[in-house]
Structure formats: structure tokens, C-alpha cells
Chains A and B, each alone.
Chain A
Amino acid sequence: MTAKAQGRVIVVTSGKGGVGKTTSTANIGAGLARMGYKVVLIDTDIGLRNLDILMGLENRIVYNIVDVVEERCKLAQALVKDKRMPNLCLLPAAQTRDKSALTPEQMKDVVGELQKEHDFILIDSPAGIEQGFQNAVAAASEAIVVATPEMSSVRDADRIIGMLEAKEEITNYKLILNRVRPDMMKANDMMDVDDVLEILSVKLLGIIPEDQSIIISTNRGEPVVMREGDKVPKATMAYRNIASRIAGEDVPFLDLDTPIPWVERVKNLFKFGAA
């Protein structure tokens, strides 16, 4: 793909916990890898790591990012190769340390090294705005803000966007609206997509519907984006589309209301993509 250019470094963040940062990181990363890009996922949630479980790679971790910066191993040794896709790997966080085990400078060094070999470096940020967040953002030049259509999540996202705007290195940030329920939006029981975009005045990268297949995938250690076949869940398509948009393709937003023609449209999209 991008042969000699430096890889793009994208941080996935939210401020609030539990809105889907890790799920999004895993799925976007796997989505990009599925398109053939070389992708590395970095878990910066030191002490509360989860990304390895979502990827089903927990049992393959020997070294982690703290071992790398403390020079107990080489960077290549700490990269855990995905068991399904050879062009996808994970740099896990340490489970038995805390956020202070890593500094923004060290993060930049590690990412700089990874940029040479990979097309995309996706950084999963911890919740909060403290050092863990600072580490996650330090080396990034792009950001994905994940929010759910709830006031608390939107307010935290607003805070985070403010902090991202203050960073010169971040040239581009976009929003993923997660756990969207079109039925509730229609009934005015949930903030609608336009409301959220207006409050945050931010560009939309994608909408992920509330989908129970996400829970199943999390427990199985297999990102939902990796499901193949004709009858994939909506969330699968939503994450694939996001990956395509990040890669620079112009993909229309899913119409979550009309499932049947939507599936047809997806099929057509595939035919187009395969050609």
C-alpha cells in the first residue's frame, strides 16, 4: 500500500469510560487490516488493559509496552501478531503496572519506530484526561472521538475535543457516534445524530448502531468486523465503512432504519469494492 510513507497515527479517545473506545480500536484496526493495510494497535490503558481480550490475544502476550520502554525486550518481541490476519498486530499494555510507567516522550519513540513498518498505528486511549490520555495523544496526528448519544458522554467528548484542538500535532479529528438506536431517536427519546454534531461542531466519521453482536464478539475475542458472509451484523458494516473512510474512500452513511434495502446496498458496495 503506502510503500515508503510514514504510517498514520490515530488516537481513539472519548473522555468518558465505557462508550466503546476499545471496541472501536479493535474493529477499525481489524477493518483496515482486512483491506490489506499493515496495522498495529497500541493499548495505552496500563493497569486496566482490555484490547487483548477483545482481540482474543490475551494468551499470546509475553512482553508489553512497558517492557519495551524499560528495555527488557525489543519492540518486535512485544508485538503480538493477530492469529487471523498476519498484517495486524497488537502492542499490549502492562497489566501489573500503572499509568506512570510510561511517558509521552517514550510513547513518541515507540510510535516513531512503528511508523516505519506500518500503514496505520491505532492508539487506544484510557478513559479520563490524566497522564494515560496524555501518553495516548502524545504521538498522534489524528484523533477519533467516540461518544454515545447521551449528555454525559457528549459533554466529556466536548472536553476532549477542546484538549485535542489545543494540540498542534493533531491535524484532524472526527466523531464516531456509538450505540445509536434509531427507534429511540425517532421517538425523540434519544439525542439525534444532528443534535450531537451540532453541540460538538465536529465532523462525523461514522455511526454504530446498538448491536448485541458486539457483546458476543467481545466475549469471543473476535472483533465483529471480522465476521464474513452475507448476513453480517449492522455493526460489522458500520465499522467496515469507517475503515474505508479512514483509508480515504467516499462511503455514504448507513441508513439504519431500512434494513432490507440496506443489505442490498452493502452487497452492491462489495461488488464494487471487489472489482
Chain B
Amino acid sequence: MSAIEDRERTVLIDISRAVNSADAVRQLELYLEQSRTVLGPGAGIDLNTGDLLLTPGILAKIKAVLSRFGVKAQTLYSDVPQTQQSALDEGLSVRRYPPSKKGFDPNQFMASAYKDLDLPFESLSRPVIQPPVEKQGAPVSRPAPVSRLSVTHDDGTLEELFVEKNLPLETLFYKQTLRSGQVLESSGNIVVVGDAHSGSEILADGDILVWGFLGGIAHAGRNGNDRAEIRAVRIEAVQLRIGSHIARRPDRLFNNRAKKRTPEVAKVKNGEIQIYEDIVE
């Protein structure tokens, strides 16, 4: 029998917020324990140790922990010269800390759990259902859509901060639960006020917002727009598709996610779909 096969991939674990080196080792163990079902054998681990001072002894301990979980250390990010030297001595590649300086982001970690499928995925271009054409007489002329953001100043003048005429994307509001087998699609954006159950599909050329739980398939930027985003109060979608990217839900979700109350957003970063806490900064 073949063991569960897992494609090799690299996950970044941030232990830079540990109070000391012992705490760093403990945190690492905790993260690995939680992600045991997600990280297959042979997965690579990048570590961010921030400004922790780690001796060669501690690094050897860290390597032992990683090998106990069947994963291997790849790159160590550190801002401390001594730690960098220890890591080099232990045969790790060393860099200064990468993109965001935010520290450990549980959602970034979650995002890695949403794996890319092995399949080559082409954006499914299904025909978009056109709104019915009015049959009687000449077509009704509708006013061109305008969106604007304005402020009225103390002296009574109106300042338009933002005006957009003829918005290319209109937004479909759907105020109902989307159930298994139902497909909601639009050539614009889609807002679902309710839950989108597993087995349902939301397909939009623009962005998708689910004001509820997203459990089905969501495809934003269906016409190939990789900058489209998918938001929901909770994302547990069977699959997320953005533009030409596709990611699937891990086979087992983290237990602690059920208690989470922060809305989430999925977007394409570094060539793959990642999920973040949706916080306005």
C-alpha cells in the first residue's frame, strides 16, 4: 500500500514572536502538531526567527523537531548576525526576513493548506446568461450607471472624490441561501447575503463577497482576472478559483478555525491563492 502522497511544498512558519529560544522551539512544535494532517512527508519549512538569538545548539534542536515531524528545514530568515551564522553552520540557507514584517499570520499559514491542484486548470468559460430582452417595442433606454463618492463642505460646495461612469461591472445581490446544485453567475460582481453551501457554485467575472459562510466553489475573475478577490465571513470553500488559479480545501481543516470570527479574503499572491484575515488597515 502506498502511503499518503503529498506534493512537496514549502511553508513559512514564523516563530519570531517567541520570548526566548525555548519558547521558539515550543511554538514550532505546536504549529507542526496542528498542521500534521496538512503537511505531508518531505514538505519544506522556512522559518522566520526575527530578532531571536539562536545558538547552534538550539538550531540543532529545531532541526530535530522538524525531522521528527517528517519535514525539512530550508531557509531561515533572521535579522541577527549570530543566528545567521549558527544557521549557516547547521547547513541552512539564510536570508533576512521576507515580504511582510507582520510576524506570524495564521491565515497565511492556512493559505498554504489550500493546495494548488495538480491539474492544469483553464478558466472555465461558460456562457454567461444574458438578462432577458424586453420584447415590446424599442428597448428601454437605461441611464448609464454612475458611482460616486462625494463630501459636502461647510460652505455648501460638493466635492466629488471619486466618480466612475459606465462601470464595466455591475453587482448582483443575492439575498438567499445558495444551496447544493445551485449556480449563481454574473458578468459582474456577486454579493451573497446568506451562506453558500457545499455543492453550490458562484461564478463571477468580478469579485465575490459572501456575507456568511462560503462552503461551495467560488470562482472570481472568471474571465482571467487574477486580481479579483473572494471575501466571506468564513471561507471553507471546497475550492477557490481566482482567474486562472485554483486551490482546494485541505482534507482536514484546523479545529481551531471554527471559533474564528474574523472575515477572510482570498487573493492571488506569489502565484497562488492565499487566504488572509480581512482587516482594513
The docked-state distance in angstroms from the alpha carbon of A243 to that of B47 is: 47
Of A77-85, A121-129, A139-147, A151-159, the one touching chain B: A77-85
Contacts of A182 in B (CB 8 A): none
Q: Find out whether the CB atom of B2 lies under 8 angstroms from the CB atom of A84.
A: yes
Contacts of A47 in B (CB 8 A): 181
Decide: A58 near B124, CB < 8 A? Known: A47-B181, A86-B2, A228-B1. Answer: no
Give the number of chain B interface residues (Cβ < 8 Å).
24
* B254 within 8 A of partner (CB): no
Q: Find out whether the CB atom of B119 lies under 8 angstroms from the CB atom of A59.
A: no
Decide: A83 near B1, CB < 8 A? Known: A60-B117, A95-B180, A96-B201. Answer: no
Those of A49-78 within 8 Å (CB) of chain B: 56, 58-62, 72, 77
* B169 within 8 A of partner (CB): no
Give a binary string over B79-98; 1 marks a CB under 8 Å from any A CB, 0 the rest. Answer: 00000000000000000000
* B182 within 8 A of partner (CB): yes
* A181 within 8 A of partner (CB): no
Nearest B-chain residue to A81, judged by Cβ: B118
Give the number of chain A interface residues (Cβ < 8 Å).
20
Q: Find out whether the CB atom of B1 lies under 8 angstroms from the CB atom of A59.
A: no
* A104 within 8 A of partner (CB): no
Interface of chain A: mostly helix, strand, loop or mixed: loop
The docked-state distance in angstroms from the alpha carbon of A58 to that of B248 is: 9
**Distance from B214 Cβ to chain A, minimum over Cβ atoms (Å):** 13
Nearest A-chain residue to B40, judged by Cβ: A83
Q: Find out whether the CB atom of B238 lies under 8 angstroms from the CB atom of A59.
A: yes
Contacts of A108 in B (CB 8 A): none
Q: Find out whether the CB atom of A58 lies under 8 angstroms from the CB atom of B4.
A: no
Q: Find out whether the CB atom of A58 lies under 8 angstroms from the CB atom of B238.
A: yes
* A34 within 8 A of partner (CB): yes
Residues of chain A whose beta carbon lies under 8 Å from any beta carbon of chain B: 34, 47-48, 56, 58-62, 72, 77, 81, 83-86, 95-96, 221, 228
Q: List 27 A-B contacts (CB under 8 A).
A: A34-B1, A47-B181, A48-B181, A56-B251, A58-B238, A59-B238, A59-B239, A59-B249, A59-B250, A59-B251, A60-B117, A61-B238, A61-B239, A62-B117, A62-B239, A62-B246, A77-B119, A83-B251, A84-B1, A84-B4, A85-B2, A86-B2, A95-B180, A96-B181, A96-B182, A96-B183, A221-B251
Residues of chain B whose beta carbon lies under 8 Å from any beta carbon of chain A: 1-2, 4-5, 117-121, 124, 180-183, 198-199, 201, 238-239, 246, 248-251
